Amino acid sequence: MAQNDENLANLDLNELRAEIDEIDQAMQALIIRRTRVVQAVGAFKDRQIAQGSKVHVPYRPAREARIMRTLVRRHDGAFPKTALIQIWRELIAAGTRLEAPYTVALCRDADGQDCWELARLNFGCLNEIVEFDSQLEAIHALEDGRAAVGVFPAPVPGEGHSWWPLIGPESAVRVVSKLPFGGRPVGRGEDTEGFVLAAIELEESGDDRTLFVVTVDLPGDEAALRKDFAKACPGSAILGVFTPDATNHCFVLVDVPGFLCNQGENFRRTLLDHGLKCGDVRVLGAYGVPIPADEM
Ligand SMILES: O=C(O)C(=O)C[C@]1(C(=O)O)C=C[C@@H](O)C=C1
């Protein structure tokens, strides 16, 4: 029998355990029911694919971001929100696998940093994680469908080689999420941040940031470039600058507040208006803003 909190203190151990058994049974029945609904979602997506949809990966990070934010917002009581999110990570990852099994691609960065913990925690205990020898190979695996998602270390300003310049303008691969999304694990991997890459459509989650790759004339110094971008676009951050050999231009990876995937041209004009000598502006991706640590 469901007990009020006040009554719990009057129960003996057997009665308390009977209460837990009842709750576990109710939760399991709901997991069974949720799974049937997820399978129906999978069947719906299969029909969309049969009708010509190009997206074959069931993963929908914007929807997941909305689910996680709602969980955290309505939570109450002593159970930690980070662990609550982790329960749903397993639920969602295992369910997505039922829609279509998928492989997670990983690659270490030039400093040997990898995102294994991030990948395991986000994509669950059942999905295969394949480690590639080079970042280019991992990106190719995403492009040709050998892997559905990839987790790559978030670029660090000033690092020598990053993966993002390897994604060409014709590639269907995009940055679609930032990890960890809510809460951090304790211990190994607790400081690692990563981006999820996948060949899927970009969708709004209600609180998003957009990644642009901007081609600019080689600046006198990088500090001036950062200042110019900050002035042109408040709240933006330069995550990386890549200068191809023997050229007089560089590519700048800039992280901008808002879901601006159809506004590359507007963004370019804003930069030009602020005196930045920029050429092409292309969208590398967009991601739901992770839940801030002080809300967890
Ligand atoms: O909503 C969907 O599109 C689903 O496939 C369901 C679901 C979920 O388990 O809630 C699973 C995978 C997606 O990444 C997002 C959500």
- Select the more confidently predicted residue: 2 or 45: 45
Closest-lying ligand 1 atom to the alpha carbon of residue 58? 5
- Select the more confidently predicted residue: 207 or 2: 207
Q: Is residue 95 part of a domain?
A: no
Q: Is residue 119 part of a domain?
A: no
Q: What is the mean pLDDT of the chain?
A: 91
Closest-lying ligand 1 atom to the alpha carbon of residue 61? 14
Q: Is residue 224 part of a domain?
A: yes
* Whole-number pLDDT of residue 110: 62
Q: Is residue 103 part of a domain?
A: no
Q: State if residue 296 touches ligand 1 by the CB under 6 angstroms criterion.
A: no
Closest-lying ligand 1 atom to the alpha carbon of residue 95? 9
Q: Is residue 128 part of a domain?
A: no
Q: Is the ipTM of this complex over 0.95?
A: yes
Number of domains forming the structure of the chain: 1
Where does residue 195 fall: left (phi above 0), alpha (psi -120 to 50 degrees), or beta otherwise?
beta
Predicted TM-score (pTM) of the model is 0.93
| pLDDT band with cut points at 50, 70 and 90 for residue 53 | confident
* Model confidence pLDDT, tens digit, residues 237-283: 999 999 888 788 889 999 999 999 999 999 999 999 998 888 999 99
CATH of the domain at 217: 3.30.70.260
Cα 198 to averaged position of ligand 1 atoms, centre (Å): 15
For a mutational test of ligand 1's pocket, the pick from 63, 200, 201, i.e. the residue with the most ligand atoms closer than 8 A to its C-beta, is 63
Q: Is residue 248 part of a domain?
A: yes
Neighbouring CB atoms inside 10 A of 3's CB total 15
Q: Is residue 100 part of a domain?
A: no
- Phi then psi dihedrals of residue 276, to 5 deg: -80, 125
* Model confidence pLDDT, tens digit, residues 35-47: 999 999 999 988 9
Question: What domain range is 215 assigned to?
Answer: 208-286
Q: Is residue 45 part of a domain?
A: no
